[in-house]
Amino acid sequence: MTITRFAPSPNGPLHLGHAFSAIASHDRAMRDSGEFLLRIEDIDGARSRPELADEFRADLAWLGLACREVPAQSQRIASYRAAADNLRAMGLLYPCTCTRAEIAAAAHTQGPDGPIYPGTCLRRGARPNTEAAWRLDIEQAAILAGPLEWTDERRGVQQARPEMFGDVVLWRKDAPASYHLAATLDDAADGVTHVTRGVDLFHASHIHRLLQHLLGLPVPTWHHHPVLVESDGRKLAKRRDAPAIADRRRAGEDGRAVAAEVRSALFDTGISQSDALTLQP
């Protein structure tokens, strides 16, 4: 059975870009008479606002998207810890005590998530302490895994290139697990067959594919849908105050009509293959 998910982080209200993502994911599952899941990704420490989860549920219902909610990430820390222990026992994690400023000063290359970590703590053999983050030794991990492939429904078969991220942090000091570790484990635990999310997270799937291999997890298919952009071409974003759909819900607008507008943009995507879409006002 096809199982997709929408996995919002409660660090700001949902806007139309999220509605687009939720609809893409919901409709992908419904196309195969499958199941659509909601997972609240609430381990982002200080930025997480638990009260937003109820708003998200109401937003999805308003848009007419029935879902089955699975446990939020804050309920699953033990499984993240066990996986990190596993990777550590395989000799693939090392502690890192560098500050952001130290990394910025020493890093020479940018990866998809920011500066590529220059391996300082790997070379100096930093000792673990409570302040340490744990990084994946990507070179060792890639050697162990060998060549890997993954498939995106829109872009076809991909050769995994996790090295583009450098030694990513998998266990954080300010929040339990990194997005990469938590999302990969959760998708497997939830039985997600089609990881449906925005194309802005396309590169993350290279790392997730590697983690699946290392941790012996099933390999899903991916569906990276286009992202909605403003008329200036920039992605809709919470931090730029994209209007909250909760405001439209409270103002008494018809959520199903809003969803229908969004669906017509999604339908166009199939034709244009574009990665960025603007909704007509």
The two beta strands, 110-111 and 114-115, are antiparallel
Site for ligand GLU in 40-79 (CB under 6 A): 41
The answer to whether 9 contacts ligand GLU (rule: CB under 6 A) is yes
Site for ligand GLU in 28-47 (CB under 6 A): 41
SS3 136: strand
SS3 230: coil
- Is the CB of residue 142 less than 8 Å from the CB of residue 163? yes
Q: Judged by CB, which is closer to ligand GLU: 90, or 201?
A: 201
Cα–Cα distance list, 35 to 192, 193, 237, 257 (Å): 9, 10, 27, 22
The answer to whether 8 contacts ligand GLU (rule: CB under 6 A) is yes
Residue of 76, 135, 197, 206 interacting with ligand GLU (CB under 6 A): 197
Q: Judged by CB, which is closer to ligand GLU: 39, or 213?
A: 39
The answer to whether 220 contacts ligand GLU (rule: CB under 6 A) is no
User: Closest residue (Cβ) to ligand GLU?
Assistant: 197
| Nearest-approach distance from CB 191 to ligand GLU, in angstroms | 15
Q: Which residues of 250-275 are buried (b: 16+ CB within 10 A; e: fewer)?
A: eeeeebeebbeebeebbeebeeeeeb
SS3 277: strand
| Nearest-approach distance from CB 201 to ligand GLU, in angstroms | 6
Amino acid at residue number 133: A
| Nearest-approach distance from CB 32 to ligand GLU, in angstroms | 19
- Is the CB of residue 68 less than 8 Å from the CB of residue 38? yes
Q: Judged by CB, which is closer to ligand GLU: 173, or 203?
A: 203
Side-chain half-sphere CA neighbours of 5 within 13 A? 26
Residue of 93, 141, 183, 185 interacting with ligand GLU (CB under 6 A): 183
Q: Judged by CB, which is closer to ligand GLU: 23, or 121?
A: 23
Sequence-separated (6 or more) residues with CB below 8 Å from residue 149:
157, 158, 159, 160, 209
Residue of 201, 219, 246, 276 interacting with ligand GLU (CB under 6 A): 201
Q: Which stretch binds ligand GLU (CB under 6 A): 2-10, 83-91, 144-152, 259-267?
A: 2-10
Q: How far apart are CA 221 and CA 4, in angstroms?
A: 10
| Nearest-approach distance from CB 110 to ligand GLU, in angstroms | 20
| Nearest-approach distance from CB 83 to ligand GLU, in angstroms | 16
Q: Judged by CB, which is closer to ligand GLU: 183, or 210?
A: 183
For binding to ligand GLU (CB under 6 A), which residues are involved? 7-9, 41, 183, 197, 201
